[in-house]
């Protein structure tokens, strides 16, 4: 099964509910961080497609209805339904929709309809000064990692690694969306682990690679997309950051190659903590022997001697954490949790 086929077959995995931390903390807000303006029910959200084209016309309907069910009005990008090969229109068209949504004062937030491939092509065409002047939430995952990285590196704006418009808007995702965007809760992200009829808990188990606590700005996303930006102006500064990564449909030897890139470009030497989500459909292929994914992570992460754990509800899952990329968090690698420390939105 290739990556594109797998992406279309999502919705079979389960996750867990986040907890809310009400503990009062002393804020030490990073002045380089740009907070988005808050959104509320009744606001107008923009729906865009900065990556791959959507082949099934009903997907546009599903995405619009899901956002309306969340309580929003929806504005479709002018080029949302375009197609050029596997892309949702030309680079100029896809970038124009993103820029237009940030420029439109009536649009309060932006949702990407899907990932796929192609977002990196539009990075030089994005108006980052416009984004600085009109900070608003942008959400998506997978290939949308390119936008998270570029916007973070160029503006410092907090964006949201979470469900795409055509993703699974199940009760878990909706509840967490409400907590983050409407309740503005300082969420603690912790996997829900249920054993069902089994003797021991197997679903959504975390593995601690190195116990301990760490605080820092949380950055990352899809590993394939992240490493493809290495050496470009759109690659974030990971100094003292908490790195989170996930992927789908990649053999362990490819994961090894990408982790090697993170070591060679200096990223792994800068971070203070490491969180690995889930690599769906990433088993070794047939033929020559292969390192396991566990071995790959051990080789690159254990020598860092920093708090680290794997198995977080981050990735190509039907239930997934909504992570404010660029926000400050505290992670507990022993418990397999991380929590928000600062307000995400402008007061």
Walking along the chain (347 residues) 10 residues at a time, the average pLDDT comes out as 43 40 44 94 98 94 97 98 97 98 98 97 98 98 98 98 95 97 96 83 90 98 98 98 95 95 98 95 73 95 98 94 98 98 95
Give the separation between CA 172 and CA 157, rounded to whole angstroms. Answer: 26
Secondary structure E strands in 191-269: 207-210, 213-222, 242-248
Does residue 15 contact residue 320 with C-beta atoms inside 8 Å?
yes
Rg (CA), the chain: 19
User: Taking Cα atoms as reference points, which of 337, 311, 225 lies closest to residue 13?
Assistant: 311
Residue 198: exposure state from Cβ atoms within 10 A (0-12, 13-18, ≥19): exposed
Does residue 214 contact residue 331 with C-beta atoms inside 8 Å?
yes
Give the separation between CA 160 and CA 211, rounded to whole angstroms. Answer: 27
User: Taking Cα atoms as reference points, which of 218, 244, 226, 223 lies closest to residue 310?
Assistant: 244
β-sheet bridge partners, residue 221? 245
Residue-range domain boundaries for the chain: 3-340
Does residue 39 contact residue 180 with C-beta atoms inside 8 Å?
no
Q: What is the pTM of this model?
A: 0.90
What is the end-to-end Cα distance of the chain in Å, rounded?
A: 46
Does residue 41 contact residue 183 with C-beta atoms inside 8 Å?
no
Give the separation between CA 176 and CA 182, rounded to whole angstroms. Answer: 10
β-sheet bridge partners, residue 46? 75, 110
Task: Give the DSSP H or E segment for 20.
Answer: strand 19-20
Q: Catalytic residues, which ones?
A: 142, 246, 316
The per-residue pLDDT for 316 is 94
Q: How many residues does the chain have?
A: 347
Give the separation between CA 67 and CA 47, rounded to whole angstroms. Answer: 9
Q: How far is CA 99 from CA 35, 49, 73, 139, in A?
A: 18, 12, 19, 15
Domain 3-340 coded CATH 3.40.50.10740: yes
| Residue 317: both structure tokens together | 């899952």
Phi, psi angles (nearest 5°) of residue 259: -65, -35
The number of C-alpha atoms within 13 Å of 316 and in the hemisphere containing its C-beta is 24
Does residue 59 contact residue 113 with C-beta atoms inside 8 Å?
yes
The per-residue pLDDT for 282 is 84
Give the separation between CA 139 and CA 178, rounded to whole angstroms. Answer: 14
Cβ partners under 8 Å of residue 257, min gap 6: none
User: Taking Cα atoms as reference points, which of 121, 136, 128 lies closest to residue 88?
Assistant: 121
């Amino acid at each position: 099964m290739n990556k594109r086929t797998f992406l279309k077959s999502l919705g079979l995995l389960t996750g867990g509910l986040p907890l809310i931390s009400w503990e009062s903390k002393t804020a030490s807000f990073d002045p380089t961080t740009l907070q988005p303006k808050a959104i509320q029910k009744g606001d107008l959200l923009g729906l865009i497609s900065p990556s791959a084209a959507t082949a099934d016309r009903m997907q546009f309907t599903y995405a619009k209805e899901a956002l309306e069910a969340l309580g929003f009005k929806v504005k479709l990008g002018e080029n949302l339904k375009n197609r050029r090969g596997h892309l949702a229109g030309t680079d100029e068209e896809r970038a124009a929709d993103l820029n237009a949504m940030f420029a439109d004062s009536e649009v309060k937030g932006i949702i990407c309809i899907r990932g796929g491939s192609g977002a990196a092509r539009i990075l030089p065409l994005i108006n980052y000064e416009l984004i600085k002047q009109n900070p608003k939430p942008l959400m998506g995952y997978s290939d949308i990692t390119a936008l998270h990285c570029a916007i973070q590196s160029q503006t410092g704006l907090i964006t949201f690694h979470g469900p795409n418009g055509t993703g699974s808007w199940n009760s878990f995702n909706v509840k967490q969306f409400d907590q983050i965007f409407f309740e503005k809760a300082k969420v603690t992200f912790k996997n829900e682990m249920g054993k069902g009829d089994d003797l021991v808990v197997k679903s959504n188990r975390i593995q601690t690679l190195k116990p301990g606590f760490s605080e820092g700005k949380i950055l990352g996303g899809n590993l394939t997309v992240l490493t493809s930006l290495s050496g470009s102006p759109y690659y974030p500064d990971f100094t003292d950051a908490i790195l989170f990564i996930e992927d789908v449909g990649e053999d362990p030897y490819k994961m090894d190659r990408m982790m090697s890139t993170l070591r060679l470009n200096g990223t792994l030497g800068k971070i203070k903590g490491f969180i690995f989500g889930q690599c769906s459909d990433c088993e070794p292929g047939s033929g020559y022997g292969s390192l396991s994914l566990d071995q790959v992570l051990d080789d690159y992460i254990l020598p860092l001697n920093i708090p680290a754990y794997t198995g977080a509800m981050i990735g190509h899952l039907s239930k997934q954490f909504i992570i404010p990329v660029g926000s400050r968090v505290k992670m507990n690698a022993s418990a397999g949790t991380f929590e928000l420390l600062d307000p995400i939105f402008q007061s």
